[in-house]
């Protein structure tokens, strides 16, 4: 399984403001992300990202002729908090959608999510067991996966050592805020020497002044 993390952040490392506004990247960069989506089999996001952004996670930009290729969408959501009227569940009967929950998610909640057409995977006790989710979706034929955050999911996947590639767009903006979400949240390492070491493979500057950095892990 190939796991790629993609994110847009400000120069000060934030991927959203303290109020959860994550409209950081330019149109050019959004087109790049949609092309990247076109090259993978599935896309993972955390529940807080769904609650903050209500995304569709489809491919809409960067294609001359819109075609009906859809990615499998995987939402990491311990308790099954995803709103039934979210854009993702509203389209779950047409676009393959997996909601990965834990044993803590109430049976009724699981049933309601399934009724929308989404598949519910139960993995883990308190938080979602991401290794098990990746193993399960691999069995479903997903070989290449794109992770689109947020910071907590990024930390869990990085710290498990299962990310192969990081693509990060640095926008020439500063938003500050100690409560603002950064690229990687979680507990963090206590020493820099414990941190993950990345190899910079490619840098590209976009017209908007953004830098797109490609790292291998």
Residues contributing to the site for ligand NAP (CB under 6 A): 7-8, 15-16, 20, 22, 24, 45-49, 52-53, 76-79, 81, 127-128, 130, 148-153, 156, 181, 185
Cβ 46 to ligand NAP, closest distance in Å? 2
The whole-angstrom distance between residue 206's C-alpha and the CA centroid of its chain comes to 22
Sign of torsion, CA 138 140 143 144? Answer: negative
Of the two residues 86 and 181, which places its CB atom closer to ligand NAP in the complex? Answer: 181
- Cβ neighbours of residue 73 under 8 Å, at least 6 residues apart? 42, 43, 45, 57, 88, 95, 96, 97, 98
Of the two residues 142 and 167, which places its CB atom closer to ligand NAP in the complex? Answer: 167
Cβ 64 to ligand NAP, closest distance in Å? 25
Of the two residues 40 and 64, which places its CB atom closer to ligand NAP in the complex? Answer: 40
Cβ 25 to ligand NAP, closest distance in Å? 7
Of the two residues 53 and 91, which places its CB atom closer to ligand NAP in the complex? Answer: 53
Residue 149 near residue 49, CB atoms below 8 Å: yes
Cβ 3 to ligand NAP, closest distance in Å? 14
Q: How far apart are CA 134 and CA 180, in angstroms?
A: 28
SS3 91: coil
Of the two residues 18 and 94, which places its CB atom closer to ligand NAP in the complex? Answer: 18
Cβ 185 to ligand NAP, closest distance in Å? 5
The whole-angstrom distance between residue 51's C-alpha and the CA centroid of its chain comes to 13
**Strand residue runs (E) in the chain:** 2-10, 42-46, 72-76, 97-101, 119-122, 144-147, 165-171, 199-205, 211-216
Cβ 47 to ligand NAP, closest distance in Å? 5
Instruction: Give the residue at shortest CB distance from ligand NAP.
Output: 150
Q: How far apart are CA 142 and CA 144, in angstroms?
A: 6
Of the two residues 84 and 94, which places its CB atom closer to ligand NAP in the complex? Answer: 84
Other C-beta atoms within 10 Å of 186: how many?
A: 14
């Amino acid at each position: 399984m190939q796991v790629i993390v993609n994110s847009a952040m400000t120069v000060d490392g934030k991927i959203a403001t303290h109020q959860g506004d994550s409209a950081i990247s330019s149109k050019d960069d959004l087109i790049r992300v949609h092309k990247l989506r076109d090259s993978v089999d599935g896309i993972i996001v955390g529940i807080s990202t769904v609650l903050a952004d209500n995304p569709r996670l489809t491919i809409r930009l960067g294609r001359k002729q819109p075609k009906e290729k859809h990615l499998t969408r995987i939402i990491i959501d311990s308790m099954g908090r995803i709103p039934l009227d979210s854009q993702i569940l509203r389209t779950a009967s047409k676009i393959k959608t997996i909601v990965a929950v834990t044993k803590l998610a109430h049976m009724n909640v699981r049933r309601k999510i399934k009724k929308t057409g989404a598949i519910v995977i139960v993995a883990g006790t308190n938080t979602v067991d991401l290794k098990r989710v990746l193993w399960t979706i691999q069995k479903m034929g997903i070989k290449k996966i794109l992770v689109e955050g947020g910071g907590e999911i990024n930390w869990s996947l990085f710290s498990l050592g299962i990310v192969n590639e990081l693509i990060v767009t640095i926008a020439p903006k500063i938003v500050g805020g100690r409560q603002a979400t950064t690229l990687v949240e979680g507990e963090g390492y206590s020493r820099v020497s414990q941190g993950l070491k990345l190899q910079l493979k490619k840098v590209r500057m976009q017209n908007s002044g953004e830098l797109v950095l490609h790292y291998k892990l």
